[in-house]
Structure 1
Amino acid sequence: MSDYCLWLAAIPRPLSEADARVYWNLKEPTPGLTEALAGAAYFFVGSWQEKHLSERPQSGRSPAVRLFDWLFLRGTIDDYRAPALNPRLRDELTALYRPRPDDLPSESVAAHELERFLAGHMSWHLLPEETPRERHN
């Protein structure tokens, strides 16, 4: 069984639509995308396995998979983008992160840690990553 990890990558500037399209379609990274992710602030959210997945978005049986699904929808519906963290998105993410009765056991950070990261990166743009990218200083 595979384990999937979710790290939030907060980038200070928006991605171009072309870079966002490359990101969400899992294509070879562009220089702009590579630079943005190398300079991102990363936060580990949690992990899940195949058994946590659901065919319906926002219905995964783990807080981390629900956040991943929601960011994927927000990043690909209408236009390709890295969703901007604003109060509405923060509230949506924290609501999706709340435990549900049918959640299966999975690794997840405490909700207050996620809330602290989100509060510290308002107006930044979020992308879900499996692992943090290397920094190039």
Structure 2
Amino acid sequence: MTEEYKTLWLAAIDGPIPEEEARIYWNVKEDPTPVLDAALRRADYLYVGSWGDRHESEGLQSGRCPAVRIFDWLFFKGTVDRYQALLLDEELLSRLMELSQPRPGDLPTGDVPPTGFDAFLRHNAGRYLLPEEAPPA
């Protein structure tokens, strides 16, 4: 049996999204999200990586590859206190750069490390980030 992998793309959108739409997004509901859908169609995207079940962990930021650590952090910050897309400010940029670094206990994923991660974040500073499985078709 082959392990199923999840993929992580970062979507940088123009502005914040309504909290109700953010709630639907983070809870993976099928309800309409017209503001978010339009923003995702206009977004800049960067492929970050993929992971399987063996890369996940119970602890925040302790996943066994950069992509899962980044996804976990964005999910945590996007759902704690209020549902939101995260503003890409210097603090978030620094945190994402830290989480993107390989760690000694990381497991291989078969991915090539993303190129331009830092440049993508710096280019999109001031926009809002959401994790996506893939850019819209």
Q: Does 1:20 align with 2:22?
A: yes
Q: Partner residue of 1:51?
A: 54
Equivalent residue, structure 1, for 2:66 = 63
CA distance in 1, matches of 2:132, 2:112: 15
Change in 2 beyond 3 A, CA 1:25/1:108 = farther
Q: Please state how far the C-alpha of 1:40 moved relative to its aligned partner.
A: 0.9
In structure 1, what is the Cα distance between the partners aligned to 2:37 and 2:92?
24
Identity %: 50
Within a 5 Å distance, the mapping from 1:1-137 to structure 2 comes to: 1-28=3-30, 29-106=32-109, 107-110=111-114, 113-134=116-137
Ranges in structure 2 where 5+ consecutive residues have no aligned partner:
none
SS at match of 2:106: coil
Query: Amino acid of the residue matched to residue 113 of structure 2?
Result: V
Amino acid at match of 2:16: P
TM-score (norm 1): 0.93
Aligned residues: 133
Verify the 8 A CA contact 1:64 1:108 in the aligned structure 2: no
Structure 1's consecutive aligned runs of 4 or more residues displaced over 6 angstroms after TM superposition are: none
Provide the C-alpha distance between the structure 2 equivalents of 1:81 and 1:100, rounded to a whole number of angstroms. 29
The CA RMSD measured in Å over matched residues stands at 1.1
Q: Distance in 2 between matches of 1:100 and 1:21?
A: 32
The runs of 5 or more residues in structure 1 that have no matched partner are none
Contact 1:45 1:108 in 2 (8 A): no
